Structure 1
Amino acid sequence: MTFTPVDYSRLNARQKELHNFHKIAARLADYGYHSMWLSDDWQGADFLACHIDGKTVLRVQLKARLTLDRKYLGKGLHVAFRQGDRVFVYPHDMLLAWAREWALFDESTESWQVKGNWHWSSLPGWAGVFLAHFELRTRIS
């Protein structure tokens, strides 16, 4: 038997979601987390990440990009996304509060007022400052 790497661009949406989950779960494992995919969103989470300390459990929403969304407010969610080989897992409400404090996006836009969300396909400079604290860097075990 031989293994052939998958061409990510040829995967369907569901396959991409699961592929990204496993990539992020592998990175979280380097930091002592065991991740469990939820078959149905539970309190807004796509998966749970339980730390080996026996106390810490992250409820994580998986996204394809940096996202802020009103529907996640007050739920204690973390958002996880990949950008190339980089992995970020950030507390949603903390990023939103920080962005509001520094007036980093315009809440009067239609995107926020009507749709209730903002997302960025590439990291804006201001987000990089915040996300530096929430990047899961590659570790060699």
Structure 2
Amino acid sequence: MSFTLIDATTLNARQKELHNFHKIAARLADYGFHSMWLSDDWQGADFLACHIDGATVLRVQLKSRLVIDKKYLGKGLHIAFRLGERVFVYPHDELVEWVRARKLVDETATSWHVNGIWHWPALPKWASAFLEPSYELGTSAA
């Protein structure tokens, strides 16, 4: 048998979601986390990431981009997304507080006030100040 790389853009939505999960889980493994896919969202989480310290468990919602969503507020969720080969896992509520404190979204806009969601298909410059210092998962040297 020989292995052939796939073109992830040809996958259907469910296949893309699982592909992204495995890519993110592999990166989390480099940080001491074992990730478990949940067959049904549990308290808003798509998967759990359990750390080798035996105490840390992240409830993670998998996304395709940077997002804040009112339906996730107060649930203690982390959001994980990939941007090319870059991987980000951030605490949702901390980002919401950070964004609100800096008035980076118009809270009266329909997308937030009515729909309760903001998302960015490309990483805005301001997001680097929040994400890169603590929430971007770099690659392993091993």
Task: Report the TM-score range of the alignment, normalised by the length of the smaller protein.
Answer: over 0.9
Question: Which residue does 2:49 correspond to in 1?
Answer: 49
Question: How big is the shift at 1:114?
Answer: 1.6
CA distance in 2, matches of 1:63, 1:138: 20
- SS of structure 1 residue aligned to 2:61: strand
Q: After TM superposition, what 4+ stretches of structure 1 lie above 4 angstroms from structure 2?
A: none
**Alignment match, 2:11:** 11
Give ranges in structure 1 of 5+ residues lacking alignment.
none
TM-score (norm 2): 0.98
The 5-angstrom pairing of residues 1-141 of structure 1 reads 1-132=1-132, 133-141=134-142
Q: Which amino acid aligns with 2:117?
A: N
Q: Write the distance in 2 (CA, Å) between the matches of 1:8 and 1:53.
A: 33
User: Following TM superposition, by how much is the alpha carbon of 1:66 offset from its aligned partner in structure 2, in angstroms?
Assistant: 0.2
Compute the displacement of 1:140 (Å): 1.9
Deviation digits for residues 19-46 of structure 1 (CA, Å, limit 9, x no counterpart) = 0000000000000000000000000000
Identity of aligned residues (%): 71
Structure 2 unaligned residues grouped into runs of 5+: none
SS of 1:112 mapped into structure 2: helix
Partner amino acid, structure 1, of 2:135: F
- SS in structure 2 of the partner of residue 40 of structure 1: strand
In structure 1, distance between residues paired with 2:50 and 2:74: 20
Partner AA of 1:106 in structure 2: D
What CA distance in whole angstroms lies between the structure 2 residues aligned with 1:5 and 1:138? 20
CA RMSD of aligned residues (A): 0.5
CA distance in 1, matches of 2:141, 2:29: 12
Structure 1 residue 115: Cα displacement: 1.1
- Secondary structure of the residue aligned to 2:114 is helix
Shift of 1:59: 0.1
